[in-house]
Amino acid sequence: MKHRSFFWFVLPSAVAMLLFIFFPIISVIVQSLHTEHEQVIRTVESCDLFGCKETTTIDQEATAALRAEKPLGQFAGLTTYLDRNHLAVDEVAMTWGSAESLRDFGTQMLNLPFYKAMGFTLTFTFVVTPLVIILGFIIAIAVNSATKMIRGPLIFFSLLPMMITPLVGALILFWMVDARGIIGTTLQQLAGDPDLSVKASTPLMWIMLMVYGVWHSAPFAFIVYYAGLQTVNKDTLEAARVDGANRWLQIRHVVIPHLLPLTTFIALMQLMDNFRVFEPIVSFSANAHATSLSWAIFNDLGGETRQLSSAAATSVLTILGIAILLSPVLVRTWRDFDRK
């Protein structure tokens, strides 16, 4: 295809991505280096019968004018990154000095908002992704062994948890886990503790969020593996069977190697999607127990006081996290392409 026609064909889509994905990333970086203007304070000397006093007032007009003139705010360098709500350098150094053990240090770190969000996001990503792959694989094998007739309905119901809006899916589970919901009351009976509440317990909340994560994403792994199973070489399977391989050995030596490339694909997609975990935290109103990086940004942006710089700094740190997470994959894709 000629350069010229390529250019015109991709132009609309390139402009859209440039304007609304690339520039916002730049804008986020710039914004994170600035903070809002402080209010302009004017000192007025007022004299009365008892002598002269200096009073300070906020000059609303001057503040508004300044903010309108330079909407970005004042240049702040890396201060937003280093403050208590982000990397919290001072606090970390202090904790490191005073903590008695590594465990103590870890617990104290989780009280800092950024590390709390980071801790949950990473745990969620690295617990949910492997579980999704394993569960998806098991379901795919099971559905593939079912008779052809019922496979259609099986796939239909399997797709539901993934296709339903994440916020809505999480809400549905949340209502069932509620202390008065069906799963909640069952748990109370099983534990023999009538006051047991998922909402009130941090470990239970974490487990619940991850259960939701696996429930939501397992269908994706399932459907990819299921499609892969349809292309397993029947001859190789037959050969393995003739050579005396039992069902497990067939799976181990024929099916799994065949599905391995798909696993890379699922893992890549899952890492990307789990790292942005957000909706379940809103649905479960879990923010007292677990926050994620995306939730922290959302929280900064919402509400009466929009803390744009703080949100921007967290966004930049999130993007860096994703870059680190994906770098092995990107390097590999690039090498593969280079070899071609």
Partner 1 sequence: MSDTAQSQPVIITTQPDKAGRQPIIITTLVVTVLAIWMLLAAFPFIWTLWGSFKVEGDFFSKADWTNALTGPLTTIETGGPFTGAGYHGAWVQEEFWRAAMNSLIVCFFVVTISLTLGTLGGYALARSTYRYAFWFLLAALIFRAMPPITLVSGYLPVFFQWNLWGHTATTIIVLVAINQPFTLWMLHSFFKNIPAELDESAMVDGCTRFQAFRNVIIPVMWPGVITTGLFSFLLAYNDFAVTAMLLSKENQTMIPKVASFLGTTQTKGNVMFAVSSVVSVTAPLFLMIMFFQRQIVGGLTAGAVKG
Contact by Cβ (8 Å): 109, 76: no
* Nearest CB to partner 1, comparing residues 95 and 228: 228
> Which 113-132 positions form the footprint of partner 1 (CB under 8 A)?
none
Hey, which residues between 191 and 250 contact partner 1 (CB under 8 A)?
A: 215, 219-220, 223-224, 226-228, 231, 235, 238-239, 241-242, 247
Fill in the amino acid letter for 114: F
Binding range to partner 1, per CB under 8 A, among 27-35, 37-45, 75-83, 85-93: 27-35
**Binding span for partner 1 by CB under 8 A among 42-50, 51-59, 98-106, 327-335:** 327-335
Q: How many residues bind partner 1 (CB under 8 A)?
A: 108
What phi, psi does 84 have (nearest 5°)?
-65, -30
Q: Which stretch, 1-9, 39-47, 57-65, 82-90, contacts partner 1 (CB under 8 A)?
A: 1-9
Cβ–Cβ < 8 Å for 34, 23: no
**Which residues ranging from 266 to 305 are in contact with partner 1 (CB under 8 A)?**
266, 272, 275-276, 278-279, 282-283, 285, 293-294, 297-298, 300-302
Structure tokens belonging to residue 176: 């069932």
3-class secondary-structure state, position 283: helix
Strand partners, 52: 47
Looking at the Cβ atoms of 98 and 264, the one nearer to partner 1 is 264
Estimate to the nearest angstrom the gap between the alpha carbon of 94 and the chain centroid.
29
Mutual angle of helices 202-230 and 256-275, in 10-degree steps? 140
| C-alpha span between 208 and 199 (Å, rounded) | 10
With CB under 8 A as the contact rule, the residue among 35, 80, 129, 158 that binds partner 1 is 158
The nearest distance, CB 231 to partner 1, in angstroms, is 7
Closest distance between partner 1 and the C-beta of residue 129, in Å? 14
Site for partner 1 in 82-101 (CB under 8 A): none
Minimum CB distance to partner 1, residue 250 (Å): 11
Near partner 1 by CB under 8 A: residue from 40, 122, 164, 251: 164
Q: Give least dist CB 235 to partner 1, A.
A: 5
- Rounded CA-CA distance 173/209 in Å is 10
What is the helix (H) or strand (E) element at residue 227, kind and residue range?
helix 202-230
Binding map of partner 1 across residues 46-75, x = CB under 8 A, - = no contact: -------------------------xx---
- The stretch near partner 1 (CB under 8 A) out of 21-29, 74-82, 102-110, 126-134 is 21-29
Minimum distance of partner 1 from residue 41's CB (angstroms): 24
- The residue range among 47-55, 83-91, 202-210, 322-330 that interacts with partner 1, by the rule CB under 8 A, is 322-330
Q: Is 254 in the site for partner 1 (CB under 8 A)?
A: no
Write the DSSP assignment of 235-275 as a string of letters.
HHHHHHHHTT--HHHHIIIIIHHHHHHHHHHHHHHHHHHHH
Strand-strand pairing, 51-58 and 34-35? unpaired
Distance CA 97, CA 92 (A): 9
Nearest 5°: the CA angle 138, 139, 144 is 105
Quote the least distance from Cβ 109 to partner 1, whole Å.
23
| Nearest Cα to Cα of residue 279 among 267, 264, 290, 266 | 290
